[in-house]
Structure 1
Amino acid sequence: MKTVLITGCSSGFGLEIARHFLARDWQVVATMRTPRNDVLPPSERLRVLALDVTDPQSIRKAVEAAGPIDVLVNNAGFGVASPAELTPLATVREVFETNTFGTIALTQAVLPQFRLRGAGVVVNVTSSVTLKALPLIASYRASKAAVNAFTESMALELEPFGVRARLVLPGRSPETRFGDNARPRMRGLDHEAYADLVRKVFAELQDTSTPTTRALDVAEAVWRAATDPAAPMRIPAGADAEAWAIDAS
């Protein structure tokens, strides 16, 4: 029986990914900054652990408690929506600490066991916005694009050891807390210089007639990345992400 460790499982994509692997008889280590035992179905194959990917001590404790794993899914992250000019540098650093450096730090903590065993998969969940430039998300997009670059180079280093690294690129989803998590960090949206742009962007975000991404789309893409050795490096997840990937190719 194989084991997967997933970050950011309290809601959204991480929660659905954990459900997906549980339903397929995997052992699941579901991690959250604040552990909750009521969001996933009870199972002898489930462990819920505390993990803050920005805290080295928390990473060390979680990896030790998890024990041997077969797949690492770096899903934890949050968004921010602000004009680049008006985004405080402290907010930019905060976004990178979680989305980029947190992913790198946890990956580094897990890779030694994969390398020594000669097997293992790292799946990094980034975003389809890395395929297409959009306004108001420069810092968020940059943090995810950095993970793409990190993962693609890392995959070349790990291949000789029998270890794989893959990317899953979700599209826009109404099933996540992206807006809720981004709201406290929004700055400059009321600035008169950007008012017209902000109104246009938010009107487009509220348009429900365009394709979006379901949490299940992301879970299925992660499953493919984790279990199919022939899976491509970048796997778009969701109808909108797939369309953007075609346009970008």
Structure 2
Amino acid sequence: MNTVLITGTSSGYGLETARLFQAQGWNVIATMRQPRPGLLPEGVRMLPLDVTDADSIAAAIAAAGPVDVLVNNAGIGVVGAFEATPMAHIRKVFETNTFGTMAMVQAVIPQMRARRSGVIVNVTSSVTLAPMPLAAAYTASKQAIEGFTGSLAHEMAAFGVRVKLVEPGYAPTTRFAANTDIPVADLIPAEYADFVGPIFAAFANPPLTTRESDVAEAVLRAATAPGDQLRHPAGPDALALAAA
């Protein structure tokens, strides 16, 4: 039975991805900062993991045992005017979305390289396909992972390890805007009032949206499909952007 370790499974894409892999017969290791009993189906193993903490990463990898597929899903969002976003928070976004992903990859490469097999799936965002306003720091953190993943895919191919990207579209049901320490209102200066109105209206009624199940299915395809396809857009909006 293949083992998948998924980060950021407390809600949203990660939670749905853990459920799907388990339903497909995988040995699922679902990680989050504070595991909650009963959150996931029976048989899914939950481990505490903070991707910004080296000791936490080492402990989780040691407890997990051999990992066939790593899914880097953990992330935090930030919505607001860039000029009003504190640098401390921008660094926090990068620590989780960018450096946390890189640290997890570094932790699993030795075992995958030694076995000459394995898959690494990094979850980014459709903002890497079409950057949107009020998300400059978040977009930068995800664009960094796009470039990192493309380069790493070449590096790891020599050892039989595949590296993939999943690019989710906009899913209103996720906690993207809520998963931050700073209320959105605090990041919108009064001078931006006329600018942000139409943008938030568009967020509330997007023409196309992504379901959490769309992302979970894309992750499963990326993890199991043969070949070297790097990018896997998830959801009708992301697919439309990728085709444009």
Query: Unaligned stretches of 5+ in structure 2?
Result: none
Q: Deviations over 1:208-241 (max 9, x none)?
A: 5x11000110011000110012262011000100
- The secondary structure found in structure 2 opposite 1:123 is strand
- What amino acid does structure 1 have at the position aligned with 2:18? A
State how far apart, in whole Å, the 1-side matches of 2:188 and 2:214 are. 34
Structure-2 residue corresponding to 1:17: 17
Match of 1:150, SS state, is helix
Q: Counterpart of 2:213?
A: 216
2:34 corresponds to which residue?
34
Q: Distance in 1 between matches of 2:194 and 2:186?
A: 12
State the AA in 1 paired with 2:216.
A
Q: Aligned-pair distance for 1:183? A: 6.5
TM-score, normalising length: structure 1 = 0.95
- Segments of structure 1 that go 5 or more residues without pairing to the other structure are none
Equivalents in 2 of 1:140, 1:177: separation in Å? 14
RMSD value, Cα: 1.2
Read off the aligned partner of 1:23 and give its amino acid letter: A
Q: Is the 8 A contact 1:83 1:187 kept in 2?
A: no
1:173 match: 171
What is aligned with 1:59? Answer: 57
C-alpha distance in 2 between matches for 1:138 and 1:47: 35
CA contact (8 A) 1:91 1:185 kept: no
Q: Where does residue 195 of structure 2 map in the other structure?
A: 197
**Separation (CA, whole Å) in 1 of partners of 2:184 and 2:109:** 35
Query: Partner letter of residue 14 of structure 2?
Result: G
Partners of 1:105 and 1:229 lie apart in 2 by 26
- The structural deviation recorded for 1:179 is 2.0
Q: Which residue of 2 aligns with 1:229?
A: 226
Which residue, out of 234, 241, 249, partners 2:238?
Answer: 241
- TM-score, normalising length from structure 2? 0.97
> 2:155 maps to what in 1?
157
1:12-37: per-residue Cα shift (whole Å, max 9, x none)?
Answer: 00000001100011000000111112
In 2, the alpha carbon distance for the partners of 1:47 and 1:235 equals 27
Q: Which runs of 4+ in 1 moved over 6 A?
A: none
Sequence identity percentage: 57
| Matched residue count | 244
**Partner residue of 1:122 out of 120, 123, 131:** 120
